[in-house]
Chains A and B, each alone.
Chain A
Amino acid sequence: MITCKDVSDTASDYLDGPTTLLQRFSLRLHLIMCVKCRRYMRQLKLASGLAKKITVPFEPSDEEIEFLVQKLRALT
């Protein structure tokens, strides 16, 4: 039986899949029985989802592109 600390150690891996069948099985079994870890896991997933949504647009403008093209052309 894995402990709550073990859950914390593998929780992030689980979000990235694929973990081993045994890992998945023992994690799920633990989560069925432990409301605290269920909450931790669900909220860690929310935190990861939040990071996915924080995107900063970095599209270069036409002027920036031309400026860089000039510089690259001048490279020897």
Chain B
Amino acid sequence: MYEEEQELISRLIRKEDAAFRQAIKQYQSSMLYLAHSFVGNKFADEVVQEAWFSAIRALPKFESRSSLRTWLLRIVANEAKTRLRKENRLTSLEAMTAENKSLSDRYVSDGNWGDKIPIQWDCDSPEELLSVQELKRCMDQLIENLPELQGATLNLREEQGYSLDDICNILEVSESNVRVLLHRARNRLFLCIEHFQATGECCTD
């Protein structure tokens, strides 16, 4: 695996078409997927293209401290952040890791649940939840609108299955921040599904 990757890297540095093709086939979908969670559909292609340009230029200096895949995703994340920063759309880490008040308010001062305890859902599996079209649409919309690092963390962890360690490396945040971001994102999903279960309507935040 390591040798194969080194071989691909050397061929990419030599700018072989076949190597470009192979790398794009291997990594493009993961890169697009991550970019999408940062900047949405409209700019994902552009961000990924920029990331490839930066990556190919920087490749001779790549030191293999991480896998090529992780390194490429880190470049995508950086391009996406730069883009958001330029448009003044970058949310602060503090805001993204802040406690979700609509959940924390449901606990009373001694740390127990108050009056608003979790309602029982009428579903036992994710598949069953997603079989309801309106909820599926609602979830797509919610995930699309998550603050960028929450969305990216959820995407990398749940949808793409990366380890916490890889995610720290890709997003350049500490492990404790990754854990908090994941926690916040999952709780948002939880609250939105609960709202849907109670009212039959999508949450509005």
Contact = CB atoms under 8 A, between A and B. Distances in A.
A65 B52 CA distance: 12
Contacts of A46: 121, 123-126, 129, 193
Nearest to A3: B111
B36 interface: yes
B53 A75 contact: yes
Counting contact residues on chain A (CB < 8 A from B), the size range is 35 or more
A71 B49 CA distance: 9
Contact of A53 (B20, B28, B53, B127): B127
B96 interface: no
Contacts, number: 135
Contact of A4 (B52, B112, B139, B158): B112
Interface string B34-76: 0010000000000001001100110000000000000000000
Contact of B182 (A16, A49, A58): A16
Interface string A44-56: 1011111111111
Nearest to A6: B111
A43 interface: yes
A8 interface: yes
A14 B86 CA distance: 37
A51 B118 contact: no
Contacts of B33: 56, 58
Interface in B160-205: 161, 164, 179, 182-183, 185-187, 189-190, 193-194
A47 B111 contact: no
A7 to B, nearest CB: 9
A11 to B, nearest CB: 8
Contacts of B127: 53
Contacts of B124: 46
Given A4-B112, A16-B182, A53-B126, A69 B24 contact: yes
Interface of B: 15, 17, 20-21, 24-25, 28-30, 32-33, 36, 49, 52-53, 56-57, 103-104, 107, 110-113, 117-118, 120-121, 123-127, 129-130, 136, 139-140, 143, 154, 157-159, 161, 164, 179, 182-183, 185-187, 189-190, 193-194
